[in-house]
Homo-oligomer: A and B are copies of this chain.
Amino acid sequence: MAQVIDFHTSASAIFNQGDEAAFIYLLVDGVVRTFHTSPDGERQIVAFHWPGDLFGLAEHGRHVTSAETITSSQIYRFPCQKLERFLLKNPKIEDGFLIKAIHDLRSAQRQLIIMGRLAIFRRLAVFLLDCSAHEHYFDKAKRLLTLPMSRYDIADYLGTSAETVTRALSKLTADDAVRRVSARALKLDLDKLRTLADFD
């Protein structure tokens, strides 16, 4: 029922804003961004997806966002109609989708709280903590985070500019919450970050 797709390059389009939604996607390996593009060309990244994440839930049968790989990725996709029939015969499974939808809803609402009220350096602290939850990109022993995405991606996710992300990172460094090993490799002090991020 599922098809496997491999993307060996980054910035590959998975689906585009406005497309008819024919599939639901399960990310097996890699990192994906889903984003919205305004008529004036502004890009807002709505979510980053990590291994194990399901994405591509549509509205009225159409995608409201585009999705692209950030790293090389392996993805399963399931045809929507077949999935729907399958779900109707196995209503129990739909629970999973309800749970998933509710989980995504929480993520979006949480992001709203963050974007609405927090100074940029605190948004960045939250973001780094979120990234550190993904084993494959965070070495717990060394407390070393390897960012798969660029400053521009982070900026378009946090609702700011790449320059401001860099400056916010400088501030976190000054506060000893982060040490810059390289641009994409950061040593984190989780406790300090949590203190800075704290919003609930």
Give residues in A with beta carbon < 8 Å to B.
36, 38-39, 42, 44, 46, 57, 59, 64-65, 91-92, 94-95, 97-98, 101-106, 108-113, 115-117, 156, 158-159, 198-200
Q: How many copies does the complex hold?
A: 2
- Given A97-B98, A101-B101, A159-B115, decide whether A64 and B199 contact each other with a Cβ distance below 8 A: no
Interface of A is mostly: helix
Can you name the residue of chain B whose Cβ is closest to the Cβ of A35? Answer: B113
Q: Beyond the given A44-B117, A108-B112, A115-B115, could you list 7 further A-B residue pairs with CB under 8 A, ordered by the A residue number?
A: A36-B200, A39-B200, A98-B98, A101-B105, A108-B109, A116-B159, A117-B159
On chain B, the residues within 8 Å of A158 by CB distance are: 116
Do residues B106 and A104 form an inter-chain contact, with CB atoms below 8 A?
no
Tell me the minimal C-beta distance from A137 to chain B in angstroms.
23
